Structure 1
Amino acid sequence: MDNLIYLQISSGRGPAECERVVAKVQQLLLKDATERSLSAIVIDKTNGQINGTLQSTLLQLQGENLKDFVNEWEGTIQWIGKSPYRKFHKRKNWFVSVQSFSPSKEILFDAKEVEFKTCRASGPGGQNVNKTETAVRATHIASGISVMASDTRSQHQNKKLAIERLQLKIKAWQMDEQMSNIEAQWSQHTNLKRGDAVKILTGDL
């Protein structure tokens, strides 16, 4: 398993008690990660109906031996405890889900996979800056992303600028793709499967 992974804790469509469990499980999970020398940070969250509750939360974990940690937490978490919000409510079992997913695989930049085309640089109103083809368009073949550089009168310098800009643009594109995957996973937080709990916890909410 990669040494970077995301964990989503969700109450699904559960009541405020389940949202309280999300907040409690987040605390326990972060504590457990720290004790195992893992880096764990909250990168996004949706607050619940009541102060101190969370509908969903998204954690980023980094470190070695993440597989064992994820295997212990991923799935349905059952919390047994009395409701702090409804004094005479008989229900004592509350469920939340923990789901993991990995970031998108990064595309390794290789200048050999870049196609270069030269053209004449043009000034304002279409005026030619010079008569030689010094502008450079660089296209990353694998992704189809392209950039143009015509800042200098040197084709060689423009080529270097194009490569630098292409690397930055590819990195930004990869981050957008990664966030899209995270948002797609986030939108599924209402699909909570009860039963077959991987952890059963007890205590006051």
Structure 2
Amino acid sequence: MLEKLKEIALRYEDLQAQLGDGAIYGDSTRLAAVTRELKELEPVVEAYRAYTRARERHRQARELLHDPDFRELAQEELTASQEEERSLEERLRLLLLPRDPDDDRSVVLEVRGGVGGEEGALFAASLLRMYTMYAQTKGWHTDIVSMNETELGGVKECSVLVEGTGVYSRLKFESGVHRVQRVPETESGGRIHTSAATVAVLPTVEDVELDIDPKDLQIDTYRASGAGGQHVNKTESAIRITHLPTGLVVECQDERSQYKNKDKAMRVLRSRLYEMEREKQAAQTAAARKSQVGSGDRSERIRTYNFPQGRVTDHRIGLTLYKLDSVLDGGLDELIDALVTADQAEKMKNGARASDET
């Protein structure tokens, strides 16, 4: 590990030198690449430098143990430096874990009502509110692309752009089936019903990252439906894009501008095509998926929200929290932190196993 850390520190210094060369500012592509790599390496290098300082303190404290005048002080310093070394070593092992290249991306969040009819749609609306409130606590920007609602305010299906730093790294564990157990407002007998909604979290991609042939697209315009006054009746601003090779269809009617709707729809289409390619690659290397917390498969039940008991249970890690109201108000960090920790632990275990085999 130390040899790898030395290489990373040298690479970091080289990148800093490149950034100090005025010529780089004339090449925006190179500048962006160097800046991005520096940002990625910085936490590793900072932890490594702190680790080497702790090791040096450890060495000096050991030498002072032989001096009767400083033995007590040296023992205190030795204990403190050892604890710091162990803590930093653990942090460095985490930082050196293979990183998901999509972690820094924004996402397209898709929520659909599932089993349970109207109750499933109402629960989907609750999930959409939960994620929107969570995004607000993180300072992320949310933008509805499309929304298909029921008469009672439920959500049949919706797509939302969630933009910000590290959005995918936090929300990627939310893909799957979310189950709710509660007494529906429409239920006169007070019986608990079980219904569900599905969530998909798709990393966004830029034009340059995914080449889509315009000949593969069928683009239709139509009049937006729903609220909107005269605009609804007079302007064909809504967009429907069909990707002919795959049959994927994306619609957007949220904006009054046809251009803006088309731009949003294309972002969703790119994300879905990118996700299809990711799933294809994952299927080819199925063993690698075992290192993740759950498979991310949308058919997999990942979490249950039990209203009578006020609890939320994540089935992948066996975590139950008796704070349902807080979670539904956007308090997702405790759940997500636990999922991230479990994912890291699994990766470290797999890394250790791979090292033993070699």
Partner of 2:187: 86
Q: Which residue of 2 aligns with 1:47?
A: 149
- Quick check: 1:64 aligned with 2:165? yes
| Mapped contact 2:142–2:163 kept (Cα < 8 A) | yes
1:179–1:143 CA distance, 2 compared to 1 (3 A): closer
2:142–2:160 Cα contact (<8 Å) kept: yes
Residue 301 of structure 2: SS of its match in structure 1?
coil
- TM-score when normalising by structure 1: 0.54
CA contact (8 A) 2:111 2:159 kept: yes
In 2, distance between residues paired with 1:179 and 1:18? 24
Q: Distance in 2 between matches of 1:82 and 1:65?
A: 36
2:202 is the counterpart of 1:101: yes
Q: CA deviation at 1:67?
A: 3.1
1:196 partner amino acid: I
Q: Which piece of structure 1 moves more, 88-97 or 19-28?
A: 88-97
Q: Is the aligned partner of 1:25 residue 2:127?
A: yes
Equivalents in 1 of 2:266, 2:299: separation in Å?
Answer: 27
Structure 1 vs Structure 2: percent identity of aligned residues? 9
Distance in 1 (CA, whole Å) between partners of 2:156 and 2:213 is 39
- Partner of 1:83, secondary structure, is coil
| 1:75 Cα deviation from its structure 2 partner | 1.9
- Report the Cα offset of residue 104 of structure 1: 4.0
Give per-residue Cα distances to partners, 1:126-175, cap 9 Å, x unaligned: xxxxxxxxxxxxxxxx8788xxxxxxxxxxxxxxxxxxxxxxxxxxx987
Tell me if the contact between 2:171 and 2:201 (Cα under 8 Å) persists in the aligned partners: yes
For 2:301, the aligned partner's letter is: G
- Structure 1: 5+ residue runs without aligned partners? 109-141, 146-172, 186-190
What's 2:305 paired with?
200
Please identify which structure carries the higher helix content. 2
Any idea what the Cα deviations from partners look like across 1:4-51, whole Å, max 9, x if unmatched? 210000113541000000111111110011001111222211112x32
When residues 201 and 66 of structure 1 are mapped into structure 2, their CA distance, relative to the original with a 3 A threshold, is: farther
> Residues 93-126 of structure 1, C-alpha deviation per residue, up to 9 Å, x if partnerless?
2211110113344228xxxxxxxxxxxxxxxxxx
Any idea what SS the aligned residue of 1:88 has?
coil
Contact 1:41–1:59 (8 Å) recurs in 2: yes
How many angstroms apart in 2 are the aligned matches of 1:200 and 1:91? Answer: 12
Q: Distance in 2 between matches of 1:35 and 1:175?
A: 24
Structure with more of its chain in strand, by fraction? 1
Q: Deviations over 1:151-201 (max 9, x none)?
A: xxxxxxxxxxxxxxxxxxxxxx9877545456889xxxxx9636332x535
SS at match of 1:87: coil
| Residues in 2 aligned to 1:86 and 1:101: alpha-carbon distance in whole angstroms | 35
Matched AA of 1:101: L
Superposition TM-score, scaled by structure 2 size: 0.33
Structure 2: how far apart are the matches of 1:30 and 1:176?
A: 20
Counterpart amino acid of 1:11? G
Q: What is the CA–CA distance in structure 2 between the aligned matches of 1:91 and 1:74, rounded to whole Å? A: 25
Residue 76 of structure 2 is aligned to residue 76 of structure 1: no
Q: Which runs of 4+ in 1 moved over 3 A?
A: 142-145, 173-185
